[in-house]
Structure 1
Amino acid sequence: MTAPAINITVHGTPGPQGSKTRNAAGALYESSAKVKPWREAVKSAALDTLAYDETWMPLNEPVRVDVVFTLRRPKSHYGTGRNAGVLKASAPEYPTGKPDLDKLVRSTQDALKDAGVLHDDSVVTAVFAAKAYVLTGADALSHPGAVIQVWRLNKPEESES
């Protein structure tokens, strides 16, 4: 692996996919209202990136997906009054609450498939995923969103056959 097959930066609030709820009529729907806008944001960012590569074909080979989700800190992490905007000493360094990392990955992989980055999300054989707060790490953005890299795992000569 020398370089990612594609780098995508997504702007928006990451939305988890996975939990379903039944309404009074018994129909299933996503519990999170954030999943649909998130999948659209990922798809849009991927399509914008792919617009510059006229030869792109959806990846139908083993790939690794690296994704760092950047989340906004809750208001409770900050002081009040004259300390508004000042991070409390007790504020955690890493986001350990909801949304669940695996559900964020699920919605993101499905959007990558919908955008034509992946032939199917079953080609993903390895995932590195992390959650970070805004501006708290090397791959954390200055606003909510995600940095996604998709890596081909086959050697170049294996991909050509």
Structure 2
Amino acid sequence: MTFRVDGVPVPQGSKKGFVVGKRAVLVDDNKDVLKPWRRKVAAASDIGHTFTGPVFVAAVFYMPRPKRPKFSLPGVKPDLDKLMRALGDGMTDGGLLADDSRIVSQFIHKRYASDSNPPGVRVLVMEAGEET
């Protein structure tokens, strides 16, 4: 199955911890932008099917091009692994994956957005076989 999420991809950030009363609370330090991004991923990946076994995920994140890019490819923040963490959690939130621990193989890229590929992410998810 394939899907696309439009918008600037947001990485799963670090956690902040604090105490409320006698309870410890953890929150994402970028929750104001992360939560809407994960909701978009969840909505796009909600196809009425849940992968319960091992899966292969291929994803291409299209990042906005700065006015003066440092490199020809987006070798700058955000980190690719943190973008993938947000994607995996969003697919779990949307019910596409029983849990993002089901991802056993992945092929991920960061590229600059263009007219034909605006900011966002293109995703392929398929059952993993022994050969993946």
TM-score, L = length of structure 2? 0.83
Structure 2 residue runs of 5 or longer lacking an equivalent are none
Once residues 125 and 27 of structure 2 are traced to their aligned partners in structure 1, the CA distance between those partners, rounded to angstroms, is 29
> How far apart are 1:37 and its partner, in Å?
1.6
Please say if 1:146 is aligned against 2:121.
yes
> The residue matched to 1:75 in structure 2 has which SS?
coil
Match for residue 62 of structure 1?
Answer: 54
Match for residue 71 of structure 2?
Answer: 92
Structure 1 residue runs of 5 or longer lacking an equivalent are 1-5, 51-55, 78-90, 156-161
Q: Is the 8 A contact 1:21 1:31 kept in 2?
A: yes
Partner deviation per Cα, 1:71-128 (whole Å, 9 max, x = no partner): 0012344xxxxxxxxxxxxx41111111111011001011111111111111110011
- Shift of the 34–75 alpha-carbon distance from structure 1 to 2, 3 Å rule, reads farther
Partner deviation per Cα, 1:8-50 (whole Å, 9 max, x = no partner): 1110111111412346967432122421121011112123xx2
Please say if 1:74 is aligned against 2:66.
yes
Match for residue 33 of structure 2?
Answer: 34
Once residues 41 and 128 of structure 1 are traced to their aligned partners in structure 2, the CA distance between those partners, rounded to angstroms, is 21
Once residues 34 and 14 of structure 1 are traced to their aligned partners in structure 2, the CA distance between those partners, rounded to angstroms, is 10
> The residue matched to 1:113 in structure 2 has which SS?
helix
Match for residue 10 of structure 1?
Answer: 5
Match for residue 114 of structure 1?
Answer: 93
Once residues 10 and 147 of structure 1 are traced to their aligned partners in structure 2, the CA distance between those partners, rounded to angstroms, is 7
> How far apart are 1:130 and its partner, in Å?
0.7
Q: Is the 8 A contact 1:58 1:117 kept in 2?
A: yes
Aligned-residue sequence identity (percent) comes to: 36
Please say if 1:19 is aligned against 2:14.
yes
Please say if 1:105 is aligned against 2:105.
no
Q: Root-mean-square deviation (CA), in Å?
A: 2.2
Flag the structure with higher strand content.
Answer: 2
Once residues 34 and 44 of structure 1 are traced to their aligned partners in structure 2, the CA distance between those partners, rounded to angstroms, is 16
Q: Which stretch has the larger CA shift, 95-104 or 28-37?
A: 28-37
Once residues 10 and 103 of structure 2 are traced to their aligned partners in structure 1, the CA distance between those partners, rounded to angstroms, is 20
Once residues 152 and 24 of structure 1 are traced to their aligned partners in structure 2, the CA distance between those partners, rounded to angstroms, is 41
Count of equivalent residues: 126
